[in-house]
């Protein structure tokens, strides 16, 4: 089932996306990220930044879980966190 919510970008991800946040319409984190890559296909740096990012879904770290297995909730939030200086 497709749900809608918000993707929030931080630091380098925000710069590459050219926006601080945008909506998603997806059932899983993998679907949301695929849609974001497609939406920002004109900027190849965006896809490169995502490769280095970690993700929080509704405040919970995704870690090494398969993004296709991470379900998104209606009205949820995906935080896209690139590595930050100093850890």
The tens digit of pLDDT for each residue in 58-72 reads 999 999 999 999 999
Q: What is the pLDDT of residue 3?
A: 97
Per-position b or e across 18-39, b if 16+ CB within 10 A of its CB: eeebeebebebbebbbebbeee
Helix (H) or strand (E) holding 72: none
What domains, with CATH codes, occur in the chain? 3-81 (3.10.20.30)
Q: What is the pLDDT of residue 85?
A: 57
Q: What is the pLDDT of residue 84?
A: 77
Q: Do residues 21 and 6 lie in contact, with contact meaning Cβ atoms separated by under 8 Å?
A: yes
Q: Do residues 54 and 12 lie in contact, with contact meaning Cβ atoms separated by under 8 Å?
A: no
Q: How much is the average pLDDT of 47-66? A: 97
Q: What is the pLDDT of residue 86?
A: 56
Q: How much is the average pLDDT of 46-57? A: 96
């Amino acid at each position: 089932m497709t749900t809608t919510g918000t993707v929030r970008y931080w630091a380098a991800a925000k710069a590459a996306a050219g926006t601080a946040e945008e909506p998603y319409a997806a059932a899983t984190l993998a679907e949301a990220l695929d849609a974001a890559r497609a939406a920002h296909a004109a900027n190849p740096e965006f896809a490169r930044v995502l490769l280095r990012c970690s993700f929080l879904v509704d405040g919970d770290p995704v870690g090494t879980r398969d993004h296709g297995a991470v379900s998104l909730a209606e009205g949820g939030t995906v935080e896209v966190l690139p590595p930050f200086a100093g850890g």
